[in-house]
Amino acid sequence: MKIMIVYSTTEGHTRAIADFLEEEAKKMGHKAGLFNATVKPPSPKGYDTVIIAASVHAGKYQSSIEHYAREYHRELNELPVVFMSVSLTAASDDEASWKELKEQTESFMLATGLEPDHTEYVAGALLYTKYDFFKRFIMRSINKKSGGNTDTSHDHVYTDWEQVAGIPAKLESLAASKRD
Ligand SMILES: Cc1cc2nc3c(=O)[nH]c(=O)nc-3n(C[C@H](O)[C@H](O)[C@H](O)COP(=O)(O)O)c2cc1C
């Protein structure tokens, strides 16, 4: 199977997840094309399946991925597509935050016309050591309020790598059911 992975990232963690996904897909014998949404990825034509990956910042996905999804939503909707949403909410069990995350994702779909076959919510990372002073201050304050991690001396990665490794298999079964 030829898998296209288009991602957007602000601090680099979704890029790390996309790199990992590319490796996992290759290990499973698939061909994978990895594209950063900020550098004009090609049309998904010629690929069998697609992963669209983006992270949430202040309730929104990156505008670069929104542009890509809007431009190619017709071609994408013909293919099996998994939307991978990366956020800190996905690491929490707060019902209200999950409701917001799902509404934010729904707004993204409405704005772009993208109709993914499946949305995978993946926990992101708190990269305190990579933030500038202002971002570190904001993120620490938010986490203090929400009961999250406030130790800024190192990064905190919440991603469940096994969950991510399961995405190519999900694409395989989506591709099989779309063929039937
Ligand atoms: C300034 C900032 C704002 C964020 N806003 C949200 C948010 O509104 N909701 C959420 O669930 N996570 C939020 N996050 C957490 C990010 O989604 C998480 O850190 C993710 O791993 C970032 O991925 P990236 O490195 O690919 O950009 C925010 C992070 C930062 C630094």
pLDDT at 29: 97
Q: Whose CA is nearest to atom 16 of ligand 1?
A: 87
59 lines ligand 1 (CB under 6 A): yes
Q: What is the pLDDT of residue 178?
A: 76
| Each residue's pLDDT tens digit, 43-89 | 999 999 999 999 999 999 999 999 999 999 999 999 999 999 999 99
pTM: 0.97
pLDDT over 90 at 20, yes or no: yes
How far apart are alpha carbons 79 and 108 in whole angstroms?
Answer: 18
Q: Report the separation in Å between the CA atom of 30 and the middle of ligand 1, taken as the mean of its atom positions.
A: 30
For the record, the structure tokens of 166 come out as 């399961």
Closest-CA residue to 99 (of 113, 107, 71): 107
Return the percentage of the chain with pLDDT > 90, whole number: 96
Residue 177: is its pLDDT beyond 90?
Answer: no
Give the integer Cα–Cα distance in Å for 106 and 87.
15
- For ligand 1, atom 3: residue with the closest CA: 57
Task: Give the number of residues written for the chain.
Answer: 180
Give the distance (Å) from ligand 1 centre to CA of residue 56: 5
The closest of 40, 73, 68 to 53, measured between CA atoms, is 68
CB 135 within 8 A of CB 143: no
- pLDDT tens readout for residues 141-166: 999 988 899 999 999 999 999 999 99
What domains can be seen in the chain, in order of their start residue?
2-124+159-179 (3.40.50.360), 128-158 (no CATH)
Atom of ligand 1 nearest to the CA of 11: 25
Spatial distance between the Cα atoms of 91 and 9, rounded to a whole number of angstroms: 18
- What's the token pair of residue 74? 């017709």
Rounded distance between C-alpha atoms, residue 83 and residue 113, angstroms: 13
Contact between residue 98 and residue 46 where contact means Cβ atoms under 8 Å apart = no
